[in-house]
Amino acid sequence: MANFQARTARRTHLFTESVIREMTRVAHEHDAINLAQGFPDFSAPELLKEAACAAIRADINQYAITWGTVNLRQALAEKYADRYGM
């Protein structure tokens, strides 16, 4: 059998570690709790599961911009206005 050595293209050597992977690695190094990723120890509420399924069926399945979608921001503004008079 031929001696095979796996190689990657040189351009791939420019890739860097993702921020999420870096946070996970650093958390493990310091025995810290990593808040960058969620690992719940409880089941999600049915209402949340149904909402997630409805969003996926409606093709609302992309990461939002950092500050949230317009609909989310509007809903939060209305909630805070009602609850806190803001």
Give me the tens of pLDDT residue by residue for the chain, a chain 86 residues long.
Answer: 567 677 778 888 888 888 878 888 888 899 887 666 677 788 999 999 999 999 999 998 888 888 888 999 999 999 999 998 87
In a domain, 4, yes or no: no
How far is Cα 44 from Cα 41, in angstroms, rounded to an integer? 9
How far is Cα 86 from Cα 81, in angstroms, rounded to an integer? 4
Residue-level pLDDT at 83: 93
Site of tokens 């939060």: 76
Start-to-end CA distance of the chain, whole Å, equals 73
In a domain, 5, yes or no: no
Domain count, the chain: 1
Residue-level pLDDT at 77: 94
Q: Does residue 67 contact residue 73 with C-beta atoms inside 8 Å? A: yes
How far is Cα 73 from Cα 62, in angstroms, rounded to an integer? 16
| Whether this model's pTM surpasses 0.85 | no
- List % helix, strand, coil for the chain (3-state, nearest 5): 50, 0, 50
Residue-level pLDDT at 36: 60
In a domain, 69, yes or no: yes
In a domain, 70, yes or no: yes
Residue-level pLDDT at 34: 66
